[in-house]
Chain A
């Protein structure tokens, strides 16, 4: 359920680091908590963020949740397909439901995030 090549946060986001780029989204646990997602507010390309800054907003029928930057960087790409199909975050949270890509300020910063086994422990009841 939680692939080992991803890093995770306590805010239930994942980050895939590839060289100097990081792709991020929300975890399967998070999409289940939110329920049916009806809108994803994406960040602007070029936006600079520090860890913990707000990158966007996800609205489900019953709740609204912020997307936080797990690490610092600059937004280089957003998943525009979510504008028409926000429910992809429900159906494929760790894949097609990605939210945006960052050029990482410090690729080593991701090492401080949770690995898959630590995240699995966090979300196990």
Chain B
């Protein structure tokens, strides 16, 4: 249902004209599917998909103390990030849990762009602004300055590369560049949320519709398809990428979420470090694992995970995997059971269905 308060991206009219099913997502009216989740998922895995992710928030952090400020509020080591590079990180609570998960782009020595989840953007801004007070830093909401389009899939380079002024073949994974795409000034990063090669294009909102159409036209020969949030969810789950609100939130620590690779305890003090240092030394009580189920019923978000019939954890994401053609999911289980091969059960509508812990991710593209 749409309400007066629901926001629309600059591409809204194009989605409706294309016959997309629109849903309210984090206060935005977004396309959940165009033709069907399975077909759209397959297009991204085998060819190319075009996503409107303009609902994502962008926060500019700049000033003489932008670096020490971001070191203080996030867990990854921002000092290691050189201009032109991006890393995945978390905005931290004192409890070592997530205010949000995010990408940090180092634009210049003293200027960063922080890309956050739509549903957390307002909260993130207020947390960042409150924490910024002792620092010589400006925190500005730049969300309205960007439409965000993602092109993902093995043909993404062919599609975007043909329209970009810069040679994108040399753009490294988690690197970005500023260049014109179809004549439009864009920030182009080699990032995504699908497990495929691909690009995210930060474009001026008033040029977004023409860019969308140009990408579809350039991608036609490559079999590109517009892709909605439905397939975005199955794609990211196969790649074991966490979804805030499903797999991670302000009750789960970064280490419990099995994201230790973004926790840099040796970089110096930061919000939540004490809890994470203790968990690293003592071990976590529970851990986010990947699992498969044998039965046909899908284990979904919130279903209990059982050990010997007793509730021992919870499913955070679950779906039929269009690539693997089996049911997959992620769940928090006791750390002792967080080992591939461990068997447990999921309670699905009153029945106990067998599940097994498997290595992450479910899907990894061939390089």
Q: Which residues does A use to contact B, with CB under 8 Å?
A: 32, 35-36, 38-39, 41, 57, 59-62, 64
B349 to chain A, nearest CB (A): 7
9 A–B contacts from the bound complex (CB under 8 Å): A35-B32, A35-B36, A36-B37, A38-B298, A41-B297, A59-B297, A59-B320, A62-B32, A62-B230
Taken together as a complex, chains A and B put the C-alpha atoms of A34 and B298 apart, in Å, by 14
A85 to chain B, nearest CB (A): 13
Mostly helix, strand, loop or mixed at chain A's interface?
strand
Taken together as a complex, chains A and B put the C-alpha atoms of A60 and B233 apart, in Å, by 13
Interface residue from A32, A35, A64 paired with B298 (Cβ < 8 Å) = A64
Taken together as a complex, chains A and B put the C-alpha atoms of A64 and B37 apart, in Å, by 15
B239 to chain A, nearest CB (A): 16
Question: Could you say which of B33, B37, B233, B298 has the most chain A C-beta atoms within 10 Å of its C-beta?
Answer: B298
Taken together as a complex, chains A and B put the C-alpha atoms of A32 and B322 apart, in Å, by 18
Instruction: Tell me whether B319 and A57 are in contact (CB under 8 A).
Output: no
Mask, B18-48, CB within 8 Å of A = 1, is: 0001000000000011001110000000000
Instruction: Tell me whether B320 and A38 are in contact (CB under 8 A).
Output: yes
Interface residue from B38, B296, B297 paired with A61 (Cβ < 8 Å) = B38
Interface residue from B33, B37, B38, B298 paired with A39 (Cβ < 8 Å) = B298
List B269-301 residues whose CB lies under 8 Å from chain A: 296-298, 300
Chain B residues whose CB sits within 8 angstroms of the CB of A38 once the complex forms: 296, 298, 320
Chain B residues whose CB sits within 8 angstroms of the CB of A35 once the complex forms: 21, 32-33, 36-37, 230
Chain B residues whose CB sits within 8 angstroms of the CB of A59 once the complex forms: 296-298, 320
Instruction: Tell me whether A62 and B233 are in contact (CB under 8 A).
Output: yes
Instruction: Tell me whether A62 and B297 are in contact (CB under 8 A).
Output: no
Is there a chain A Cβ closer than 8 Å to B234's Cβ? yes
Mostly helix, strand, loop or mixed at chain B's interface?
mixed
Taken together as a complex, chains A and B put the C-alpha atoms of A107 and B230 apart, in Å, by 41
Instruction: Tell me whether A64 and B300 are in contact (CB under 8 A).
Output: yes
Whose C-beta in chain A lies nearest to the C-beta of B322? Answer: A61
Chain A residues whose CB sits within 8 angstroms of the CB of B297 once the complex forms: 39, 41, 57, 59
Whose C-beta in chain B lies nearest to the C-beta of A38? Answer: B320
Whose C-beta in chain B lies nearest to the C-beta of A61? Answer: B37
Whose C-beta in chain B lies nearest to the C-beta of A41? Answer: B297
Taken together as a complex, chains A and B put the C-alpha atoms of A89 and B320 apart, in Å, by 17
Interface residue from B36, B296, B298, B300 paired with A36 (Cβ < 8 Å) = B36
* Pairs of residues from A and B, 8 with the lowest C-beta to C-beta distance, nearest first: A38-B320, A61-B37, A39-B296, A36-B38, A62-B230, A59-B298, A36-B37, A36-B36
Taken together as a complex, chains A and B put the C-alpha atoms of A61 and B328 apart, in Å, by 11
Instruction: Tell me whether A61 and B234 are in contact (CB under 8 A).
Output: yes
Instruction: Tell me whether A41 and B36 are in contact (CB under 8 A).
Output: no
